[in-house]
Structure 1
Amino acid sequence: MNPATRAADAACRAYQRHLSPRKRWACAHRVHHGGDSCSGAVRTLLLQRGLLGALAPTAGRFLACYRAAAALRALGAVPGPAMAGGAQGVCCCGPIPIPFRF
């Protein structure tokens, strides 16, 4: 694994260990479809394809996560902005303010 891929994997791992547990919601793609969260899927892509090879599939995964969040919201399974402390979007994409509990 080259240094850039190793750094991207370390960033995903740090997100999984330190930031993700403090969020108020889970990965919409994982909730809607099952399987890995986006961060887990991105780490797998990095290990299999390297940093450059993982870029396009990662963008596709984030788009799928955004669509899963919209589907869950339409079903009433995801709280809207008023219920989530003003946060909008999903766990892993879009311009979102992420409220953390410390």
Structure 2
Amino acid sequence: MSASDPALDRPASGRPAPDRPDADAGSVSRAARLADRAVAWYQVRVSPRTRTSCAHRVAHGGESCSQAVRRTLRSSGLLGSAVPTLARFAACYRAVRLLTPHQRVRGVCCCGGIPIPFGFGRR
């Protein structure tokens, strides 16, 4: 194998490395790539400034919601990732309720740079 062999960029599973932005660039639509870039921008520019962590990752371990959305965008495209993304956000909502059962939680969730205000919990 040469240094430019694409197999070197793949983990043992044979799938492209998830941290490589253009890993699946040829297999998904331009819209999916743009959405992936928007989530990547959120991860770099917005998320570090919120000083919070993904509730799903805190409660269950594994990847954050934004990492999961990027993985799904790369593997299923924009339309194919819609339902899994909504399911993941619902699971994250349940994780927040699990972690903060007696508190009122308010904030903003940014999905691809779109701020979505939320509030739940006891009043």
Give the shorter-chain TM-score range.
Answer: 0.7 to 0.9
Higher-helix-fraction structure: 1
Counterpart mapping for 1:1-102 below 5 A: 1-74=28-101, 80=103, 88-89=106-107, 91=109, 95-96=117-118
Q: Which has the larger radius of gyration?
A: 2
Amino acid at match of 1:95: P
SS at match of 2:118: coil
Q: Which has the higher contact order (CA 8 A, sep 6+)?
A: 1
Identical aligned residues as a percent: 52
Number of aligned residue pairs: 88
Preserved CA contact (<8 Å) 2:108 2:117: no
Gaps of 5+ in 2: 1-27
Displacement of 1:72 after TM fit? 0.1
| Structure richer in strand, relative to its length | 2
* Cα RMSD, aligned residues only: 2.3
5+ long unaligned stretches in structure 1 = 82-86, 98-102
Please give the TM-score of this superposition, normalised by the length of structure 1. 0.76
TM value normalised by structure 2: 0.64
Question: Structure 1 stretches (4+) deviating beyond 6 angstroms?
Answer: none
Cα separation, 1, equivalents of 2:57 and 2:107: 15
SS of the aligned residue for 2:51 comes to coil
